[in-house]
Structure 1
Amino acid sequence: MAAFQTTAWRLISGVLGVICLLLMAALGILLKNSFNKQNVQPTLSPGPSTDPLEGSDCCSCQEKWIGYQCNCYFISNESKTWKDSRNFCISHNSSLLQVQNRNELDFMNSSAHFYWIGLSFSEEHNAWLWEDNSTLSQDLFLVNTENCVIYSPSRNSLDEDCGSRHLFICKQHLS
């Protein structure tokens, strides 16, 4: 009878040992994935946080895009010309940012960087036009020369040679 009790305890301790090893392996995998996600998120862009934003519950954005007020925004961490920035946005089913109002980018208030937006001077129309050919509302920006526009969420805008390289913001409208 004593031999049977010893064999049963060995079997129980062996099973518990295997369960313990499996739990430790699962914990290791979960921790590794958790640290990888934390390391990736802050490098998505030099500006705002990519944490879920208030008012973003009405949209589902692709990875590396920020949902805010039912739109998705991509804030680049790579400098491109205005044309290359526009082409990048188009290739991702979006457009360079068209600012609707001064509060649109409230989630980026802490950013001091300047970004290309979808505003440029049309020689054909002799006017400032957004990418969708709508005209610029004069209360949004004051621009003087015939170039493209870089924008900082701290409410500053500058006209800049379209061939210079800057960060950019894409905006995807969700229906």
Structure 2
Amino acid sequence: MALGTNYAEVNFKNELKSSGTNSNSPADPRENTIPHQSNFGFSKLLLALLLILFLLKEILLSVSFITFFQKNSQLLKEKNYGNSTKEMIHTNLECVKINSTMKGKVWSCCPKNWKSFSSSCYFISSKQRSWKKSQENCSTMEAHLVVINSKEEQDFITWNLNKSHAYFVGLSDPEGQRHWQWIDQTPYNENTMFWHVGEPNRVQERCVVLNYREQWGWNDIFCAHVQRSICEMMKIYL
């Protein structure tokens, strides 16, 4: 109690002096040092509180992220439980902090081992399947065969491909009438297509691969042929 009283008195005396009131009591040599020490201690306390608040915020973000991941990971595992022939579903997310206008969204995420570009994530499968089986495999991972909307997107994708292989994309001609359709119903744009010279060349070849012939381009092939493939999904925002 004595320490508390002295502190109150010191503050009170300083206030009197600052207001111009005279005091006949002898000067206490501690008057000039104790306020400085108190202010310094208060600054340290404030800094510590701010640090604690920052750490609590980061912990809450981490907990939210872990909870979200666990729920989605469990859902995907249950959906594909017992099917050992399918490519393993992603069990981890890789996220980067973003400046987002979406309320409450600060993280942009793709499954681990997927490639990130613009608002999409891409998975390059090394397993060979038919076009239909490739699409089914993408679907088990909440994705679809890749839909290419720009040269920039195609350049990014092909940068990560092996020139010795061909890769199914989500473009096909289901009726064999040369009416090309993207798997996600994106309109086929004749101003954004990358066919090799002379392609497409056979009505019976109703599915499309990306392959390399001096440069990367599209080639129509039989849908039953087995090739590698590329899956695409929208990024996850947390």
**TM-score normalized by the length of structure 1:** 0.60
* CA pair 57-70 structure 1, distance change in 2 beyond 3 A: farther
Gaps of 5+ in 1: 1-51
Count, aligned residues: 121
Match for residue 158 of structure 1? 219
Query: Which letter does structure 2 place at the counterpart of 1:67?
Result: S
Match for residue 66 of structure 1? 115
* CA pair 104-130 structure 1, distance change in 2 beyond 3 A: same
Match for residue 138 of structure 1? 190
> Shift of residue 130 of structure 1?
0.4
Report the 3-state secondary structure (helix = DSSP H, G, I; strand = E; otherwise coil) of the residue aligned with 1:132: coil
> Shift of residue 126 of structure 1?
5.5
> Shift of residue 106 of structure 1?
2.8
> Shift of residue 115 of structure 1?
0.6
Paired with 1:134 and 1:93, the residues of 2 have a C-alpha distance of 18
**TM-score normalized by the length of structure 2:** 0.45
Which runs of structure 2 are paired with 1:40-79 in the superposition (5 Å)? 59-79=108-128
Root-mean-square deviation (CA, aligned residues, Å) is 2.5
Paired with 1:118 and 1:110, the residues of 2 have a C-alpha distance of 18
Q: Deviations over 1:129-166 (max 9, x none)?
A: 00123332123134343410001374311100000000
Pick the aligned partner of 2:141 from 92, 95, 99.
Answer: 92
Larger radius of gyration: 2
Higher relative contact order (CA 8 A, sep 6+): 1
Match for residue 159 of structure 2? 109
Q: Deviations over 1:58-96 (max 9, x none)?
A: 531112211122311000111110000000111111110
Paired with 1:67 and 1:109, the residues of 2 have a C-alpha distance of 13
